[in-house]
Structure 1
Amino acid sequence: MCELPAAWRRLGGEGTGVGTVIAERDGFRLEAAEAAAGERPYGGRLTVRTDLAWAVLRARVETVTDQGMRALDLRRDGALWSVDGTRRPDLDGCVDVCAPCTPLTVTLPVRRLGLRRGEARDVAMAWVEVPGLTVRKVLRRCTRLEPSGGRECYEISDEALGTVTVTVDREGVPVDIEGLYARAA
C-alpha cells in the first residue's frame, strides 16, 4: 500500500493533511490527520479499519477545536451501524465512511468497487461532519472516467460534496480532488 504517507493541501482555504493506507492481516487501516486554519481552526484525525474487501468495519474521528477534544466511534456489524455504542438504524446499509478532514476516504470505494471505465455505482456512506461530529447517511455516486495525465480519474457526486473529479495514484489514493485538495509536493 502507501509506502510513504501522502500529504495534501486544502484549496480555497488554509490547511494541510497527511494520510496513509496500511495493509493488515485481516484488512486495511487508513490513518489520516489534518490541521485546518481559517475562521474556525481545528485539527482532525481519522482511523478507519476495513475488511479485505475494503468495506468499513469501524472508524474513529477525533477533532480538536477551541472547545477541546471530541471523538466519535462508528461500528458496522453486517449492514447495522452504531455510533458511540448507540444503535443507529438511519445509517444501516452504509458501507463507507467519509469525513471531510481528509481526502483519503475516497480510496475506499475506488478500491472496493473496481469500476471499469464508464461504469458508475451508488454507495451509501456514513458522512461525519467535521469538526461538529454529527453523522448522517449520504448516497454517493462513483463513476470511473477516462485517465488523465497518466492517472485514473473518477467523478464523485453526492449531496454533501457536490460533484468533483478525483485523480488517484496507482494505489487508489487521491492525488487531487477538484477545487478541494491537491497532493503536496
Structure 2
Amino acid sequence: MSSQTEHPAVWTRTDVSEGLGMGTLTPRPDGYVLEAGETLVDDGEAFSTRFGVETDLAWVTRRVRVEVLSANGPARLELTARDGSWARGDGTRLPDLVGCFDVDVAATPLTNTLPVRRLGLRPGEHRDIAVVWVHVPSLTVRRVRQRYLRHGFADGLDHYTYADPENGRYRLSVDTDGLVVDYEGLARRLPNPRSSGHGSGP
C-alpha cells in the first residue's frame, strides 16, 4: 500500500436512482480493516447499510459484520472464517462456504479490493475463485464463483475484468491501494474526501 494510514473513498452508484457510499481501508499490525456505509433509493425501495470486514496480512477474510436498516426494520449479520471454514456469529457452521477466502458484500465496491490484493495477479493473468456473497438488504448468504482478470496498468490505474455466471462481465479500474475507481455499470468514485495525498485517488 502507498502508506500505512486510513484510505477513504466515496462512490456514487450508477445502477440505481440514488445511491451514495463511503468506505475506508485501514492497515493494522495483524491485517486490514475495511468499513463502509451506503444509502440507496431505487424503484420505491430505500435502505441504508453499514459493514465491516477484517482480514489477515494476506488479505484472507476473518470476520464480517453487515447491518441494514430498511422499511422492515434493522437486521444484522455476523460471519467468522478460519482456514476457509465459515460460521455465523452464533457458531452455526456453513459447510457450503468451505474454501472461500473472500467476501463480496453487495453494496459499495469496497470488497472488490479483497481479491484484487489477495490474488496479486500479473498482467494478463486470471483466477477463478469462490467467494461468500452477501445480498443487501436481505442479508442472505451464498457461495458464488467469480473470475478476476488483470489487464495491466494504464493512465495511473490498474484495470481488471470481473465476471460471474449470474451478473455477467464488467470492467474495473483500481488505484494503487486496490480501491475501485470505476466499476462499469455499478459505481464511480467521487473526488477524494481528503486532500492529504494518501494515494487513494487516481
TM-score range, shorter chain: over 0.9
TM-score, length-scaled by structure 2: 0.88
Partner secondary structure for residue 122 of structure 2 = coil
Query: What is the distance in 1 between the residues matched to 2:166 and 2:49?
Result: 18
In the superposition, relative to structure 1, how do residues 43 and 160 fare at CA in structure 2: closer, same or farther (>3 Å)? farther
Unaligned runs of 5+ residues in structure 2 are 192-202
Asked if 2 retains the 8 angstrom alpha-carbon contact of 1:7 and 1:183, the reply is yes
Residue from 165, 173, 197 that aligns with 1:167: 173
The 5 Å alignment of 1:1-20 reads 3-13=6-16, 14-20=18-24
| 1:100 match | 106
- Displacement of 1:2 after TM fit? 6.1
What root-mean-square deviation, in Å, do the aligned CA atoms of Structure 1 and Structure 2 show?
A: 1.3
Asked if 1 retains the 8 angstrom alpha-carbon contact of 2:80 and 2:88, the reply is yes
| 2:64 match | 59
Q: Which runs of 4+ in 1 moved over 6 A?
A: none
The 5 Å alignment of 1:20-169 reads 20-38=24-42, 39-84=44-89, 85-169=91-175
Query: What is the distance in 2 between the residues matched to 1:124 and 1:113?
Result: 12
Query: What is the distance in 1 between the residues matched to 2:5 and 2:37?
Result: 15
| 2:199 match | none
Query: What is the distance in 2 between the residues matched to 1:79 and 1:60?
Result: 17
The number of residue pairs the alignment matches comes to 185
Deviations 1:18-49 (A, max 9, x none): 00110111100000110001221110111000
Partner secondary structure for residue 111 of structure 1 = helix
Partner secondary structure for residue 108 of structure 2 = coil
Identity of aligned residues (%): 45
In the superposition, relative to structure 1, how do residues 63 and 88 fare at CA in structure 2: closer, same or farther (>3 Å)? same
Asked if 2 retains the 8 angstrom alpha-carbon contact of 1:2 and 1:171, the reply is no
